[in-house]
Amino acid sequence: MPDSAPAALIPPENTLAFERLLDALESDRVIYVGETHDRFDHHLNQLAIIRGLHERGVSLAIGVEFFQEPFQRYLDAYIAGSIGEKTLLKRTEYYDRWRYDFRLYRDILGYARRHKIPVIALNASSEDVSRVSENGRDALSPADRTRLFGLVSEPGRAYRERLRSIFEMHGSLSDERFHRFVDVQLLWDEHMARVAGNFLNQNPTRTMVVLAGSGHLAFEDAIPSRVASIAPGAHSVIVTGPDEGSVGDAVDYVIAERDISLAPPGRFGMMLAIDDEGVAIRAIAPGSPAEATDLRPGDRVVNIAGERIEGLDDVRLAMLDRVPGEEVWIEIQRSDTSRSASHQVRVLTLL
């Protein structure tokens, strides 16, 4: 679609309109499909585009924001079928580094695995992001600055002003903190663009579908122009939103939002914390199913539903497929005894 053309609104339930969208995308080298991370309908649209292009015979790769580049080998192993879903989440430290409900992305990864579509981890590591957030890119060594930012110049006025409106939602903060905030956004945009662009150059027969937050994709000075400088080729930007007037200057298509949500997860009604000895119950919510048992603050959770618990991510993994109303065995270690005791707790959703 020409840069000057307005975004086209696509009703997701209109099969003809969606097929025409796929017609337009087939010849593109890169297809950016933006998301609001916690909206399930956005991820359903991403999957529909991936499936539609794959079924048309397009050789795809999927670039994703929700995994970090240093863990690429585990994504490769998952797609190859040599490790399972929970091992993938454990080894990529998903619940520490991304934290959004994995079920939002599950169908996309499952489809990629079934059809052997490469999934490319685009994001910078949390460690690098933290360093830039704490000190800014000017404090980096020349080698690290080149590694993380390449030869990127100072961001333009439009880039900074767009970020300022977001930054000021958090109240009145210092210019120094804003400068570091811009550096972090620049790191994300530059890193994801560089990983995507390098993959495209190394795999010239592949089309990449990039899944990332809409703010990283919907503006030409964010990821799209940066990828184009590394790996030139036609691209389209798609977001999900209420109407075509609510998008950035790079957006070609808007898919109308739908009121579709994930089913609520199962929860115990306990506040847990990690320390040197494992996972401990810190508090129990009044009126929760946990309160109806003899579980107590200070108890250490060592097993949930047959899965050993050593960290908070293990709790999330053990509860991944648990639903409200299901009964789950929890094994705890109590501080006033050397014996472990098992307690059956009814799981429900806390609103």
Q: What's the domain range around 313?
A: 270-346
pLDDT computed for residue 3 by the predictor: 47
The mean per-residue pLDDT over the stretch 296-319 comes to 92
On whether residue 16 sits in a domain, the answer given is yes
On whether residue 245 sits in a domain, the answer given is yes
How many residues does the structure list for the chain? 351
Q: Are residues 319 and 195 in the same domain?
A: no
- Banded model confidence at residue 349, pLDDT cuts 50, 70, 90: very low
30-35/119-123 β-pairing:
unpaired
Q: Are residues 178 and 277 in the same domain?
A: no
Measure the CA–CA gap between 94 and 86, rounded to whole angstroms: 10
Q: Are residues 96 and 197 in the same domain?
A: yes
- Banded model confidence at residue 345, pLDDT cuts 50, 70, 90: low
Structural tokens at position 160: 């900074």
Find out whether 35 and 46 touch, Cβ atoms under 8 Å: yes
The mean per-residue pLDDT over the stretch 108-129 comes to 97
CATH number of residue 210's parent domain: 3.40.50.11550
pLDDT computed for residue 109 by the predictor: 98
On whether residue 214 sits in a domain, the answer given is yes
pLDDT computed for residue 301 by the predictor: 92
Mean residue pLDDT across the chain: 89
pLDDT digits (tens, 9 = 90+) for 175-216: 888 889 899 999 999 999 999 999 999 999 999 999 999 999
Find out whether 282 and 272 touch, Cβ atoms under 8 Å: yes
Tell which wins on pLDDT, 269 or 198.
198
Q: Are residues 304 and 235 in the same domain?
A: no
pLDDT computed for residue 201 by the predictor: 97
pLDDT computed for residue 4 by the predictor: 45
At which of 209, 228, 256 does a domain end? Answer: 256
pLDDT computed for residue 213 by the predictor: 96
Find out whether 108 and 47 touch, Cβ atoms under 8 Å: yes
pLDDT digits (tens, 9 = 90+) for 48-89: 999 999 999 999 999 999 999 999 999 999 999 999 999 999
pLDDT computed for residue 334 by the predictor: 83
Number of domains into which the chain is organized: 2
